[in-house]
Amino acid sequence: MSNLVHASVGMVVPTFVEVPAIIKKATAPSVQVKTLSLKDFHNQETRPKFLQEMRESLMRIGTFYIKDHGIAANMTTDAMKAVQEYFALPLEEKKKMLIGNSRHFRGYKLLGDEFTNDQLDHREQLQFGPEQAPIVTFKPSVSPDYEGLQGPNQWPASTVALLPHFKPCVLEFMNQLETLSQQLMEAIGLSLGLRSSFFRDLFGQTPYYRLKCARYPSVKKGNTIGCGAHKDTGFLTLLFQDMVGGLQGQDPLTGQWMDTKPIPGTMIVTMGEAIEKLTGGLYHATVHRVLNNTSGQDRYSIPFFFDPSLDAQIACRIEGLDTSAQLDFVTKAGENKIDELVHGLGITTLESSEPTETWSNGAHVFETVHRCHPEVYSRWYTCEL
């Protein structure tokens, strides 16, 4: 989903590249989402092959499965069980954690209460972030809005009493997902020919992340959509899903939708628009959606969005990044209209005289969550409290 500037917010966030229609219609061979093993990244002998396959996947479609990711099966099982148990609570109990109660955009979102790409989503959600103390000097309409994102999650006493393992499970799962994300960002940096610490340095000491838990109820008729087609707006997304299925990604060359089927023991790794911009279109942000769930059972998924610290200033383009390999790869993929691809993606040479610019990651993240949860903004950010 492209980032649009909301006049009421009064901030500027980066405008990201959309794939032109002419590219979507291009003839290209069918593509399969690869499964990569993190063990191969940690093995010096197999690392080069791992990085090459990662690079090809991210240049071609922006998505791959990761296995042997280091998060124990009992951890993922416990996390999914905790999410299922929470959504099974009575509605009045879940409402105690309504996201509108939290200045930090943490909490519960009612079924059918969010739009994606102007389509009403058919899911209920629960959102968490880093467990931190709020910034005490924050003043709405005075301080940068993104400073309000820092703070604690909601843990209603009655909910914790009903689900005593819920809080520790969520916090530990986020901790392990952060560790995995750091490893993957290191690999992404190396696949781009950068130093291993490039993204760790860029993300800073306190990376910002969001854990979203979602339940997609089964419907009898296919007249709704679970989640509308969009791109994630940040850097890295990890997705843990159950076995029901319904997630699809779009091939950026052909426009065809591909089923991203659940594979036991794996997570899905997807790039966001920030990476797409930072690499000048070399790596794709995958357009994806969730189809209507008509399976007869609820579908559950847990995406984890990993971004730099809120006060990070991000360059519009990685300095010195070689994008020439993209053209070679696209040629091998069967795309003959190279000039149109380069023009459509807005790729420029490194000798470009464009001035170096930066954008605020905090402002970018805030624009994303504000757009998804306007009720939080209207309650907590429109005047000084």
The pLDDT of residue 1 is: 38
The pLDDT of residue 5 is: 29
Q: What six digits make up the tokens of 3?
A: 């980032």
**Global pTM?**
0.84
The amino acid present at 136, given as its one-letter code, is V
Determine how β-strand 35-37 pairs with β-strand 63-67: parallel
**Averaged pLDDT for residues 342-363:** 55
Determine how β-strand 247-250 pairs with β-strand 313-315: unpaired
Distance CA 171, CA 165 (A): 10
Closest among 239, 383, 234, 237 to 299, alpha carbons compared: 239
Tell which wins on pLDDT, 250 or 292. Answer: 250
pLDDT per residue as tens digits for the range 182-202 = 999 999 999 999 999 999 999
- Is 325 a residue whose pLDDT tops 70? no
The amino acid present at 91, given as its one-letter code, is L
Q: For residue 184, what are the contacts with CB-CB under 8 A and spacing of at least 6? A: 38, 66, 236, 238, 269
Tell which wins on pLDDT, 217 or 27. Answer: 217
The pLDDT of residue 116 is: 61
Distance CA 377, CA 149 (A): 11
- Is 224 a residue whose pLDDT tops 90? no
- Is 2 a residue whose pLDDT tops 70? no
- Sketch out the chain's domains with CATH numbers: 21-380 (2.60.120.330)
* Residues 171/131, Cβ–Cβ less than 8 Å: yes
The pLDDT of residue 113 is: 60
Closest among 265, 325, 276, 298 to 37, alpha carbons compared: 265
The pLDDT of residue 246 is: 83
Top mean-pLDDT range of 41-50, 221-230, 329-338:
41-50
- Is 157 a residue whose pLDDT tops 70? yes
- Is 228 a residue whose pLDDT tops 90? no
Tell which wins on pLDDT, 11 or 259. Answer: 259
The pLDDT of residue 367 is: 93
The pLDDT of residue 291 is: 81
- Is 336 a residue whose pLDDT tops 70? no
Mean pLDDT rounded to a whole number for the chain = 83
* Residues 229/115, Cβ–Cβ less than 8 Å: no
Partnered with residue 63 across adjacent β-strands are: 270
SS3 319: coil
Q: How confident is the model at residue 293 (pLDDT cuts 50, 70, 90)?
A: confident
What values do phi and psi take at 289, rounded to 5? -155, 170
**Averaged pLDDT for residues 157-175:** 98
**Averaged pLDDT for residues 296-322:** 92
The pLDDT of residue 335 is: 37
- Is 19 a residue whose pLDDT tops 90? no
CB neighbour class for 300 (10 Å; exposed up to 12, middle 13-18, buried from 19): buried
Q: By mean pLDDT, which of 39-43, 90-94, 151-155, 246-250 is the weakest? A: 246-250
Q: How confident is the model at residue 16 (pLDDT cuts 50, 70, 90)?
A: very low
DSSP state of 30: -
**How much of the chain is in helix, strand and coil states, percent to nearest 5?**
35, 20, 45
Closest among 372, 369, 105, 65 to 240, alpha carbons compared: 65
Distance CA 108, CA 127 (A): 7
SS3 158: helix
The amino acid present at 315, given as its one-letter code, is A
